[in-house]
Amino acid sequence: MEQCGMTILVTGVAGFIGMHVADRLLGEGRAVIGIDNMNDYYPVSLKRDRIAALQQRHGKLFTFAELDFADMDALKTALAGQTVEAIIHLGAQAGVRYSLINPHAYVRSNLAGHVNMLELARERRERHPVYTLPHPSMAAMTCCLSASRTAPTIPSRSMPLPSAPTN
């Protein structure tokens, strides 16, 4: 497929949503630079398979960099000389409960990493800076808290099922 001229940066590209977003963009002829830190919260083999599938299906339209977007120097180095017209920021450390076990990993990725993406867009004066989906763990927490008056932070307490939308 011929490139349509727009290069898009997709963070969290080895995740389920990131991979499918990248696949769709690539299928439309857009070049994608995908980044992911390939952490082991989910099976790394599954993530590597997703990256390999994108590379096989889309060839030179897809570029992958294994890096942590919380590391601003690594991010800038990987993107040096690249023109990015849009950023789709989907990468994050998953798991509300994991944040209680390893809060530093959660803060590094979900706070410092997100700020880095915003700063990258600001410094580069991107036309379409950052689009980020609500982090799944935050959406889950909101649903759980709306279905229960107490926070689901005690490990022995089972989490209620998310409430169904009313409208």
In degrees, rounded to 5, the angle at the alpha carbon of residue 36 between the alpha carbons of residues 99 and 67 is 100
Tell me the C-alpha distance between 100 and 123, whole Å.
33
pLDDT per residue over 83-131, tens digit each? 888 889 999 888 888 888 888 888 888 888 888 988 888 887 766 556 6
List beta partners, residue 31: 7
Residues of the chain with CATH 3.40.50.720: 7-133
pLDDT in tens, 22-64: 999 999 999 999 999 999 888 999 999 999 999 999 999 999 9
Fold of 7-133: Rossmann fold (3.40.50)
Contact yes or no for 32/22 (Cβ under 8 A): yes
